Amino acid sequence: MRRIASAIIFTCLALSLMAQNGVKVNFKGSKPTVTDFAWAAFPSLNYEDEEESGDRPWRMLQNAMTRHSQGLPQEQDETLTIDTKNGYIVCEHSNEDYDHIFRLEVCCWNEADGKHTLIAFNDMASFTEGRPCVTETTNMCFYRYNKATKRMVACDPPGFEIDYSCTYELPRSGKDIVVTQWNVDGSSKQKVLKWNGSRFSY
């Protein structure tokens, strides 16, 4: 519980700073890719806690991307997929002994105004036997990149509010987010958040 509280406090402070000043996105070529957005956001996504120093969810993705950039193999039971063309990254760590999986996603969408890019960072929590662990919740946040200033700032989910009883699956293909509502009786129901170029709606 203390870890979760510390994470929430740090995330709120980091997002507040991001909302005010934004962060510079460094890139090569004519425009940034999903990996450039991820590298820019890592300092605000990874919180520091002396007592819980090993428990930094987004550090897993940062370390995996570092190994990838250096041509090194990934850790055992860990996979990393970087799809620059479709603006999508997913990192998964699995434990077959416990039928357990932990997943982190990053996705970006070009906005219809041609001036901005929306980026989502999705901590899909931990899944055991296909269901999210009761001690975990979805932690998804959004940033908007301004092509003129080359900075991205934290923003509210465009067009919807995050429901912490749900999990969200970012698209590798297409543009829509799949939402799964988990019920206490073990059942689940899916619905889709559709992207219209500026916001999502059901």
Task: Band the pLDDT of 101: cuts 50, 70, 90.
Answer: confident
Long-range CB pairs of 161-164 (<8 Å, 24+ gap) are 162/138, 164/137, 164/138
Is the dihedral angle over the CA atoms 63, 51, 22, 115 positive or is it negative? positive
Q: Is the pLDDT of residue 10 over 70?
A: no
pLDDT of residue 160: 97
Measured distance CA(80)–CA(90) in Å, rounded: 6
pLDDT band of residue 51 (cuts 50, 70, 90) is very low
| pLDDT at 2 > cutoff 80 | no
The stretch 83-91 carries a mean pLDDT of 97
Of 4-8, 57-61, 96-100, 114-118, minimum mean pLDDT range? 4-8
Mean pLDDT of all residues in 90-97: 83
pLDDT at 181 > cutoff 70: yes
Q: Is 22 left (phi over 0), alpha (psi -120 to 50) or beta?
A: left
Mean local confidence (pLDDT), 73-87 = 95
Report yes or no: 118 and 142 within 8 Å, Cβ to Cβ.
Answer: yes
pLDDT greater than 50 at residue 77: yes
More confident residue, 56 or 202: 202
pLDDT grade for 7, boundaries at 50, 70 and 90 = very low
Residue 36 · residue 83 · CB < 8 Å: no
Q: Note the pLDDT of residue 9.
A: 45
Residue 179: other Cβ atoms inside 10 A: 20
pTM of the model: 0.84
What pLDDT, on the 0 to 100 scale, is given for residue 162? Answer: 92
Domain spans of the chain?
A: 2-201
Percent share of the chain, pLDDT over 90: 58
